[in-house]
Structure 1
Amino acid sequence: MMFRSATVSAACSLGLLCVAACTSSRPTSSTAPLNQFAADSTLRRIAEAQDQRQTATLRPFLHHPKPRYRRAAALAFASVQDRAALPDLLGTLSDANVEVRTAAAYALGQTADSAAAPALASQLGTETDALARRYELEALGRCVGQTTLPLLLRLPAAPDTLTLVGQSWGLYRAGLRGITSEAAVRRTVSLLAATQPVGARLAAANALSRTPRLDLTQYETPLTAAATADPRYAVRSAATTALGKVKSTTLAGTLSSILRRDADYRVRVSALRAMKTGMYTQVKEAAWAALDDANAQVSVTAAEFFLAQATGETGKLFLDRAARISNWRTRSVLLAAALHHAGTEEKPSIRQAIEQRYTAATDAYERAFLLKALGEDPAAYAFIEQATFAPKQVPVISTYGIEALVALRSLAGFPAAQQPLFVSTLEKALASNDVALIGTAAGALKEPKLDLRRDFRNLALLRTAQQRIALPRDIEAWQALQQALDYLENKAAPTPLPSAAAQHPIDWALVQTVPSAQRAMVHTSRGDVVLRLLVEDAPGSVASFVQLVRQDFYANKNFHRVVPNFVAQGGCPRGDGWGGTDYTLRSEFADLHYGEGAVGLASAGKDTESCQWFITHSPTPHLDGRYTIFAQVERGMDVVHRLDIGDEIRSVELLK
């Protein structure tokens, strides 16, 4: 899994402050009153209709005499995402109240319906409020197609700050879907200039870094200026990522300089990820130095660079360097690099060294990563399989083990003679009672690159495994099994989820007891992190979290997934990302944004949230409107930036 109100402050909504952790602007005093749902039964009815996806119940509220309820109903459709409500939302775009208009624009963007693009563009022509115009431009970016993209490029001769920010976010939202043009790219680059508002620069940098299939070679100079001189780390980081789309003889020097000099580790991580194989000789000294970076996230990213991009090196070089690294995660990745780049004569000794280290290791996560490292050599197949299926094996080890076996089968040099053995391994995994083994094996069966239609025909085994799946808890494994069946049977249309995957209703009695600024302290093995719960934006998610905290559910759990300059994720009862509760929640997509320190619920798709949550290291706007935000880090981001895989959630407590 990733994964698995009152007015939002204008600055946060605009993306102007997203670089500094942006979600909500509600009071933060310890004496904050109970939330809006405790005193207003109409807001509860609207929120309940949102949770139950009841379009017919919500539509009349869009025409309620009170703007508060019109706004709440419009925002509800951002989660419901029912195109049947499109005519009502389009009508609400002209509401007399600006907050209602902004909410309607946000909801229309969430529907991503191309039919809304002309109406949004028309509204822009008559819109009198700058904030609403900003929302309408971003929504337009979510709805335009290739032919309607020019609508997003039309602005007044002297646009105000909010209009510039809105256009930039609109270009970003279009770019995420691959909707772009040369004119759109030129405009996006212009919005990256130092004279533009920070919200526009942030959106533009992200648009250029995340829009697929761009060649940005001709824009090397403005991208370099943003990557090296912008005062905001988030802009520098995204612009550095965008430099990876530049083909230039000077780029290696630029990235090496950023890696050596930028004060923010997140920008250094981006520099490493932008480095490509073709520049290896020119950047490798900077990358070697990064292995000793004081920040572990930079160190592990440097190791990943060598694994993916090194050329002309011996395996022994990385084996020797790994022996001098104290951080187990960086060391494990370097061992993988040693095996990956080793010559034929080197492989046996390196493989043996990794196997010996696995046997001696006591930490489950380190052992899991060592199995992952062995996934670079088909000769390690028997060792990995034995570890994976060992009796009473720790879930995280068996999960990484089956993933390593699938990785082995994906290697170009995987021996043809071992392919029947791989099919036998998948059958063993599917026959097990381990949800991760089952789900990963099913995922391999539906992978077109592995082309297992001919070799695997035991569809009865898949169906039997599916019948053993506990729904809705293990919905991800059920989906993987169904997708495998659909693939092996050449079904064109995906099979829908079963009715047994129903969601957990909101506990409104509990919701009404939660203060509007309720805080929770997460005690970790690295230090304490204080979260502010956003009950008015995500009542169902907060109620679930509060109930789990009261049950000590999170005590002694781990952070099982940490992706540098992205997220730290934990709360899985299995410790490997495949665990959940016996219920799922419906997604709650309030008008919030993933800035630094946003806390979201992991999911396997819309309306499949459970107990796992993640904290973002920096702005990650591609998650906006796709994963529920239910809290914001208020104190302890320094701790979040130090978290690594295997670190403990010792306990979580609700603060008075």
Structure 2
Amino acid sequence: MIKGFLRNIFFFILIELLCLQSLFLAQYSRGDSALVNTTFEREFDKNILLGYLSSKEYPKVVAGLLSISHSADTTFVDQIIKLDFDTYGNYIAFALGQIGPSSVSIEFLLKELSLLNTSVVQKSIFDALGKIGNQQTLDTLIKNYLSNSIPNEDGISIALANFNVRGIQSTNRKELTVLKNEITTDPFYAEKTIEALYALYRIGPDESFKDDLINTLYLSDFHDKAVLIKQYSLGSLRKIKYFPNDFSLLKELLRNNDWRIRTEAVKVACFYNFTNEDELSFFLSLLKDENPNVARQCAISLRSLSLNNDLKTFLKNDITDRLENSGTYTSNTAGELFISFTSLFPTEIFVAVQKYEKRIKPKYFYTAFSENSVNPERNLDYLLNKNLNASLPDKIEILNALLSLQTHLPANIILQESILGFIASHSAPLISIASEGIDSILIDLNKDKIKEIILSQIHTHLNESNYSESIISLALLANKTDRQFYQALLSELEKSELYSIKKWIMNERGIKVHLEKPSIKFDEIWQNAFRYNGVRIITNKGNFEIQFAPEVSPISVGNFCYLASRNFFDNLIFHRVVPNFVIQTGDPDGTGWGGSGYEIVSECSPIEFDEGNVGMASSGKDTESSQWFVMHNKFPHLNGRYSNFGRITSGQNIVNIIDQDDYIISTQLLQ
């Protein structure tokens, strides 16, 4: 009997491994030009796609499912669910979850969920239901879970997280009951615990989870899942603004060998009740951490500290000394330290600006002013004076600071004219930020002028892809200004040649319009899709290498190689670095708003975003261009929402020490 049981366990594990392996088998190949082209052109030719689904070849069926998953066309559902679920379960569930809500899809997935599937397939089903299910679906899943009527519950937490992203929650927060059941310190159930802690972090715990979360922090670092378990637990503690009065635990976390744990620890340390200078000094020592991202995060966390008067005086003197010696810190750590100083001691801002003006990057001064309201008139004068000769990245920070002054200076004509001037500028990010940040008082006082600016900007930039977000921001501003004017404006926007704008109009009006093809030719992308195995990224911090995944993202890979072969990425900065999340680059403007001048289709796949995965940045579906990011860690909310086109094969240690404004020297495509 025992032998039979062990044999069944072995068979089950074997099936699990085969399912995992199937996720990485070749799907797209060089022979799939017509299939990829119909995806690239956003035509989704049914004859081609259904031909792939009817193929008896596993890679072709999967390639067809991947292409259909990009289509947002639920008329494919009937054909998808006819496929053999035992063979294609992962990709069937993925495709159904990607193309959008359908009662047929939901019913089909719920039926499959009631069967005994492998964990890998079951997770795919839960993931899909979380993406397309409705309130009734969520209630059904929770009810069945609590009544133990689901044969395999692996993945329930991911479903709950996906529902939450879409704003769907159960009454009385029953999700939390499910998640509490899923969290355990038993190593055998580590994966389930990680998923539950991640979902809890996204949904937000209540105080009943305190003990559960604290218990996970005592896990040995030899536990192979300790980093993920601890990071999500620390994130959840941060959500409830709590850390226990246990300095030995905090100290252990702050000196953890893994920089990612130290990063999460400094984020939550601001909720610890520091009682003496020694404790606070130990925390401040992280400002000199060997990893620049930990040091920068420590500087950011300082502004959230709540201290007694004596410790606050100690901290003021300590930060002052550090700013005096700011040259011994990275420029970003010094800058964040300055912002924290002026946040904790707001009346000191102008003295601090004058004292450290030559030591701190200007953008940090402007960010500090956006959080300071001690003397708004003086702030306005300073910001407008600095705006005259500021770089574009600095102008963005100045604009954000000016927008924050609207509450304090509602009738100030100079402030109003300056904000309107940003909307009338020829800078895409400035147009968007000002259009979205302008308040209702300023709009009411300047309606005619705003409408005139909107019409002029749309006439000038209607077909420029780098302005697509700006055009949409202007349209939304038009809606706030005059509803009738907005409706007339939509008719003008229909004339745009940009896919992203036309798609936005479709969603806004609920109608279909003719969608333009991408401006870049397919052949230029396709000839590069399978040409190179990877790329070496040479940075000022060192090198890292990416292995491409054209089998799931041929357009993204081909686009990257097309740009890299033209030295597009040379000398571009990493304009966005979020410690223990991502590093991001690929913007020629260095602001996060620039691109290649054209957009490509999204290529989401079942490949998860884990440490070292490389994805295309976007502002929405099918708006990818040239910006890309590398993961520091596992964050499932990106799965199925961004194109995952490669993975770091060497140099993750370099990725982990790249700081904001570090830069790419050159790229070398590898065959």
Normalising by structure 1, what TM-score?
Answer: 0.83
Change in 2 beyond 3 A, CA 1:166/1:296: same
Alpha-carbon distance in structure 2 between the residues aligned to 1:291 and 1:316: 15
Alpha-carbon distance in structure 2 between the residues aligned to 1:490 and 1:279: 51
Correspondent of 2:559 among 544, 552, 557 = 544
Deviation sequence 1:514-566 (CA, Å, 0-9, x none): 54771100000000010011112111111111111111111111111111111
Aligned to 2:384: 385
Q: Does 1:434 align with 2:452?
A: no
How far did residue 351 of structure 1 move?
3.1
Q: Does 1:624 align with 2:639?
A: yes
Aligned to 2:515: none
Alpha-carbon distance in structure 2 between the residues aligned to 1:456 and 1:11: 64
In structure 2, runs of 5+ residues without a counterpart are 1-14, 500-517
Correspondent of 2:355 among 344, 353, 356 = 353
How far did residue 592 of structure 1 move?
1.4
Aligned to 1:20: none
How far did residue 208 of structure 1 move?
0.5
Bigger fraction of residues in helix:
2
Whichever residue aligns with residue 177 of structure 1, its letter is R
Cα pair 2:242 2:272 within 8 Å, conserved:
no
How far did residue 480 of structure 1 move?
1.8
Change in 2 beyond 3 A, CA 1:367/1:245: closer
Cα pair 1:62 1:70 within 8 Å, conserved:
yes
How far did residue 159 of structure 1 move?
8.2
- My pick for the range that moved more, 490-499 or 523-532, is 490-499
Tell me the secondary structure at the aligned position of residue 465 of structure 2. coil
Change in 2 beyond 3 A, CA 1:125/1:24: closer
Tell me the secondary structure at the aligned position of residue 135 of structure 2. coil
Change in 2 beyond 3 A, CA 1:69/1:291: same
How far did residue 649 of structure 1 move?
0.4
Q: Does 1:609 align with 2:604?
A: no
How far did residue 398 of structure 1 move?
2.3
Correspondent of 1:371 among 346, 366, 370 = 366
Aligned to 2:332: 329
Deviation sequence 1:319-356 (CA, Å, 0-9, x none): 34332342221111221222223254x34312322445
Q: Does 1:105 align with 2:118?
A: no
Change in 2 beyond 3 A, CA 1:11/1:289: farther
Alpha-carbon distance in structure 2 between the residues aligned to 1:13 and 1:526: 38
Aligned to 1:3: none
Deviation sequence 1:242-273 (CA, Å, 0-9, x none): 12244767367587345424322222222333
How far did residue 572 of structure 1 move?
0.9
Whichever residue aligns with residue 190 of structure 1, its letter is N
Query: Share of identical aligned residues, percent?
Result: 23
Alpha-carbon distance in structure 2 between the residues aligned to 1:46 and 1:151: 38
Mapping 1:277-316, distance limit 5 Å: 279=273, 284-285=280-281, 287-310=283-306, 313=312, 316=316
Mapping 1:633-648, distance limit 5 Å: 633-648=648-663
Whichever residue aligns with residue 146 of structure 1, its letter is Q
Q: Does 1:44 align with 2:46?
A: no
Cα pair 2:164 2:203 within 8 Å, conserved:
yes
Q: Does 1:488 align with 2:489?
A: no
Correspondent of 1:405 among 402, 405, 413 = 402
Change in 2 beyond 3 A, CA 1:259/1:508: same
Change in 2 beyond 3 A, CA 1:13/1:500: farther
Cα pair 2:254 2:261 within 8 Å, conserved:
no
Correspondent of 1:262 among 237, 250, 256 = 256
Aligned length, in residue pairs? 607
Deviation sequence 1:87-118 (CA, Å, 0-9, x none): 333x23xx325342321111112235262333
Q: Does 1:54 align with 2:44?
A: yes
In structure 1, runs of 5+ residues without a counterpart are 1-8, 18-22, 28-34, 359-365
Cα pair 1:152 1:171 within 8 Å, conserved:
no
Give the root-mean-square deviation of aligned CA atoms: 3.3
How far did residue 286 of structure 1 move?
5.1
Whichever residue aligns with residue 164 of structure 2, its letter is G
Correspondent of 2:213 among 220, 223, 227 = 223
How far did residue 586 of structure 1 move?
1.0
Aligned to 1:185: 176
Alpha-carbon distance in structure 2 between the residues aligned to 1:256 and 1:120: 44
Alpha-carbon distance in structure 1 between the residues aligned to 2:473 and 2:275: 41
Change in 2 beyond 3 A, CA 1:55/1:85: farther
Q: Does 1:146 align with 2:135?
A: yes
- My pick for the range that moved more, 45-54 or 617-626, is 45-54
Alpha-carbon distance in structure 1 between the residues aligned to 2:17 and 2:405: 49
Alpha-carbon distance in structure 1 between the residues aligned to 2:282 and 2:248: 11
Cα pair 2:528 2:559 within 8 Å, conserved:
no
Cα pair 2:573 2:585 within 8 Å, conserved:
yes
Change in 2 beyond 3 A, CA 1:26/1:527: farther
Tell me the secondary structure at the aligned position of residue 579 of structure 1. coil
Cα pair 2:113 2:150 within 8 Å, conserved:
no
Mapping 1:47-86, distance limit 5 Å: 47-51=36-40, 52-54=42-44, 56-57=46-47, 58-59=49-50, 61-86=52-77
Aligned to 2:162: 173
Deviation sequence 1:565-598 (CA, Å, 0-9, x none): 1111111111111211121111111221110111
Cα pair 1:140 1:152 within 8 Å, conserved:
no
Aligned to 1:119: 108
Whichever residue aligns with residue 350 of structure 1, its letter is A
Q: Does 1:396 align with 2:393?
A: yes
Change in 2 beyond 3 A, CA 1:249/1:398: closer
Tell me the secondary structure at the aligned position of residue 665 of structure 2. strand
Cα pair 2:422 2:430 within 8 Å, conserved:
yes
How far did residue 227 of structure 1 move?
3.2
Cα pair 1:74 1:103 within 8 Å, conserved:
yes
Alpha-carbon distance in structure 2 between the residues aligned to 1:224 and 1:105: 35
Alpha-carbon distance in structure 1 between the residues aligned to 2:531 and 2:217: 39
Cα pair 1:178 1:211 within 8 Å, conserved:
no
Tell me the secondary structure at the aligned position of residue 474 of structure 1. helix
Aligned to 1:478: 471
Alpha-carbon distance in structure 2 between the residues aligned to 1:12 and 1:527: 37
Alpha-carbon distance in structure 2 between the residues aligned to 1:519 and 1:356: 42
How far did residue 486 of structure 1 move?
1.8
Alpha-carbon distance in structure 2 between the residues aligned to 1:223 and 1:465: 51
Change in 2 beyond 3 A, CA 1:600/1:126: same
- My pick for the range that moved more, 504-513 or 472-481, is 504-513
Alpha-carbon distance in structure 1 between the residues aligned to 2:178 and 2:410: 51
Cα pair 1:322 1:331 within 8 Å, conserved:
yes
Alpha-carbon distance in structure 2 between the residues aligned to 1:158 and 1:424: 63
Q: Does 1:565 align with 2:580?
A: yes
Normalising by structure 2, what TM-score?
Answer: 0.82
Deviation sequence 1:384-443 (CA, Å, 0-9, x none): 2232232xx432222222233224446xxx3456x3222111122223222222222112
Whose RCO is larger (CA < 8 A, sep 6+)? 1
Change in 2 beyond 3 A, CA 1:112/1:267: farther
Whichever residue aligns with residue 381 of structure 2, its letter is A
- My pick for the range that moved more, 525-534 or 145-154, is 145-154
Cα pair 1:75 1:104 within 8 Å, conserved:
no
